[in-house]
Structure formats: structure tokens, C-alpha cells
Structure 1
């Protein structure tokens, strides 16, 4: 479901969560477009503020790694963790910045 965070069944050590950003209108596909979330405490350097907004998941801060967005099979999505509808515009702005530089 769009703007829902799932546990990552794949490379969970580096990216413990996946943020679903695909429209729910396209629900019959066997894949979902997701953005991996990276723990802010493990990030070295300075994140790009507009490209990598920070969201809180289960009490911890995570970077939305917009530039690493990819399609994954539904089987790679683990349990649903939480919805982030309140961060919807922040996430959409990051996607727009990635593709349009705006």
C-alpha cells in the first residue's frame, strides 16, 4: 500500500525497511516501487536534505534513500510496520527533486 513501510526480507542489514511509493491503482502487478530506508546513525557524511528526508520508524530516525528507489517483488516485502501518510509531501518532494531537480 502506498506510503506504507515494510520490513525488508532482502538486504535487511543495510536497509531494514522499504517504503512503498507506488500508486495503489496499479495493484495487480507482482512488483512494487519502493525506497529503502537507511539508519541515520549509521550514515557517514552529510545527507542531501531534499533528496534524503528523515522519517521516524519505531522510534529511530531513517534516511529516505530516494536515489536508491527500485522495483521489488512482493515476496521481498516483509511485515507491514507503519504508514507514513503524514510524510507524504516530503517523500513526493524528494522524488520530484530526483527526477526534475525541483
Structure 2
């Protein structure tokens, strides 16, 4: 599964809040059963976001979603649904958010 692919969230407990999951794990580790994802929530339901550096706003299928980088998680790939978008064009913003989360810069 390609890095920066956006998947439908198949987890019944979380898919209403986070309909999409952004796979950020390198393709070099695609043989692992797990992957690291950032949950994506519709901007309209995200509340006030002041840390756009940590939580970039991304467009998927013409709608805006907030990447909740601080909630990244390792999950079993079985919770990844079909791929609905490729956000590799937003790579710089996504990596910057991860950098900010880990280093504060």
C-alpha cells in the first residue's frame, strides 16, 4: 500500500468520526501486518484548529479534512478500506506536521 494513500476507515468504532486514514508508513515496510496512520476528520466537524502546522488541512474528493497528526497510531492493515486518494502531493505538509510533533520544529 503506497505511502500517503488515503483509505476508507473500516473500523466500526471510529469511522464515523474519522472516515479516512492516511497511511504514512514507508513502502519499504509494506510486508508488515501493521502500518502507521493519521486519522482524518472532516474540517466541518473538527472544531477550532489553531495548530495547522500540526494538523494540516487536506483536500480529499473536493472536501477539506484535518489530519490529526497527534493521534497517529499503528493499526492492523485489515482496518484499511479501499484507497480513495493519493496525498503524495501534500508530502511536505505531512512530513512537516510529523516533524513538529516529534521535534517541536
Alignment coverage as a number of residue pairs? 102
Give the corresponding residue for 1:38.
41
Shift, 1:50, TM fit: 0.4
- Counterpart CA distance in 2 for 1:57 and 1:28 is 27
* Structure 2, gaps ≥5 residues long: none
RMSD of aligned residue pairs (Cα, Å): 0.8
- TM-score, with length taken from structure 2: 0.94
Q: Contact 2:49–2:55 at 8 Å: present in 1 too? A: no
* Large movers: runs of 4+ above 6 Å: none
CA distance in 2, matches of 1:31, 1:46: 29
The gaps in structure 1 that reach 5 residues or longer are none
Q: Give the TM-score, by structure 1 length.
A: 0.97
What do the CA deviations read for 1:49-91 (whole angstroms, capped 9, x no partner)? 1000000111110001000000110100001101011100100
- Residue 65 (1) aligns with residue 68 (2): yes
